């Protein structure tokens, strides 16, 4: 594919990086998903930026390194899209969700991480783009998560499940748990909000074997590693140049 100019930033778009069973695009998902063939992905499993924080607008606008503080975060690049006002976040997500709807096969599953603050907005975004809402699962991060004075420990994140209208051919039915128990990664992180690989290994099982899984907000491509390891095909997208490079290296070395 020859390099063309991005309609938004007027910079040259690069062709995707590829390897056996995977293709990853560097750029904003709103633009990059336009490169993907319609009705071609069987599942979209993603962990978008939450753009929430501390329950205040000022907290939401803080840099990601302020929100996700631990000794590891200081060494890692900032995430894109995590310091936005809720309205701007919803507009960005809706534009990505319309592209997701276009590339989803009939009956394709969508699993999207969120927290309690972004849940209602994400429901509106996925519903507004034409997906049918199916429910939520909980990621229980355990007792090491941050305690809150006179309140609940920040111990859980949610996974919102939606589905494109229609029916996906499945060789066998899959029954996933409603609660996933995995500690957050403490050491050797490649991304500030990296998800545990074991958790993603469970989620990719929702896609039929051999099918294509898309992650529009791939970060360090944890979804990608889980997808490829399990014999599925993978398409990823990341807007940050640093995280795109980290994802490509990780997919090449598969760790
Ligand atoms: C929460 S992180 C994903 C982390 C990932 N699950 C992992 O395990 O490494 C979300 C990623 O989306 C990227 N991002 C934000 N806005 C984006 C956009 N419009 N298009 C593509 N990527 C975007 C951020 O730079 C960030 O790396």
**46-100 residue pLDDT tens:** 999 998 765 666 666 767 766 666 656 668 998 898 888 889 999 999 999 999 9
Round the average pLDDT of the chain to a whole number and report it: 91
Beta strand pairing call for 41-46 and 212-215 = parallel
Between 170 and 61, where is the model more confident?
Answer: 170
* Residue 36 pLDDT > 50: yes
Alpha-carbon distance of 166 to 150, in angstroms, equals 46
Distance from Cα 28 to the centre of ligand 1, integer Å: 9
Burial of 135 (0-12, 13-18, 19+ CB in 10 A): exposed
pLDDT score at 52: 79
- The domain limits of the chain are 18-253
Alpha-carbon distance of 228 to 255, in angstroms, equals 11
Average pLDDT over residues 214-220: 98
* Residue 106 pLDDT > 60: yes
Q: Give, in degrees to the nearest 5, the angle at Cα 203 between 242 and 124.
A: 80
pLDDT score at 134: 98
Atom of ligand 1 nearest to the CA of 50: 1
pLDDT score at 169: 97
Q: Percent of the chain scored above 90 by pLDDT?
A: 78
The CATH architecture one would assign to domain 18-253 is 3-Layer(aba) Sandwich (3.40)
* Residue 1 pLDDT > 50: no
Atom of ligand 1 nearest to the CA of 220: 9
Distance from Cα 172 to the centre of ligand 1, integer Å: 31
Distance from Cα 36 to the centre of ligand 1, integer Å: 18
Alpha-carbon distance of 148 to 253, in angstroms, equals 39
- Ligand 1, residues at Cβ distance < 6 Å: 28-30, 47-49, 79-81, 92, 191, 193-195, 217, 219-220, 222, 237-240, 243
Between 230 and 86, where is the model more confident?
Answer: 230
**182-211 residue pLDDT tens:** 999 988 999 999 999 999 999 999 999 999
Q: C-alpha distances in angstroms, 144 versus 74, 147, 155?
A: 20, 8, 8
Element (H, E) at 24: strand 22-26
Alpha-carbon distance of 103 to 98, in angstroms, equals 9
Q: Which of 2-11, 138-147, 216-225 has the highest mean pLDDT?
A: 216-225
At 177 the three-state DSSP class reads coil
């Amino acid at each position: 594919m020859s390099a063309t100019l991005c309609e938004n930033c007027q910079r040259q778009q690069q062709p995707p990086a590829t390897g056996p069973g995977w293709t990853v695009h560097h750029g904003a998902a709103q633009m990059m998903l336009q490169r993907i063939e319609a009705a071609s992905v069987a599942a979209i499993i993603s962990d978008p930026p939450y753009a929430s924080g501390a329950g205040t607008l000022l907290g939401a606008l803080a840099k990601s390194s302020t929100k996700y503080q631990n000794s590891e975060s200081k060494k890692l690049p900032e995430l894109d899209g995590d310091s936005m006002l809720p309205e701007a976040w919803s507009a960005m997500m809706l534009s990505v969700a319309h592209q997701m709807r276009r590339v989803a096969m009939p009956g394709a599953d969508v699993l999207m991480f969120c927290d309690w603050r972004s849940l209602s907005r994400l429901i509106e975004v996925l519903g507004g783009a034409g997906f049918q809402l199916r429910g939520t699962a909980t990621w229980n991060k355990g007792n090491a998560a941050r305690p809150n004075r006179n309140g609940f420990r920040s111990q859980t994140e949610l996974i919102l499940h939606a589905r494109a209208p229609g029916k996906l051919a499945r060789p066998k039915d899959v029954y996933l748990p409603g609660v996933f128990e995995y500690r957050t990664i403490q050491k050797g992180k490649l991304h500030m909000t990296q998800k545990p690989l074991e958790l993603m290994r469970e989620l990719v099982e929702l896609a039929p074997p051999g099918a294509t899984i898309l992650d529009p907000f791939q970060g360090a491509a944890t979804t990608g590693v889980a997808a490829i390891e399990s014999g599925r095909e993978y398409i990823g997208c990341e807007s940050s140049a640093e995280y795109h490079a980290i994802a490509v290296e990780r997919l090449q070395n598969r760790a």
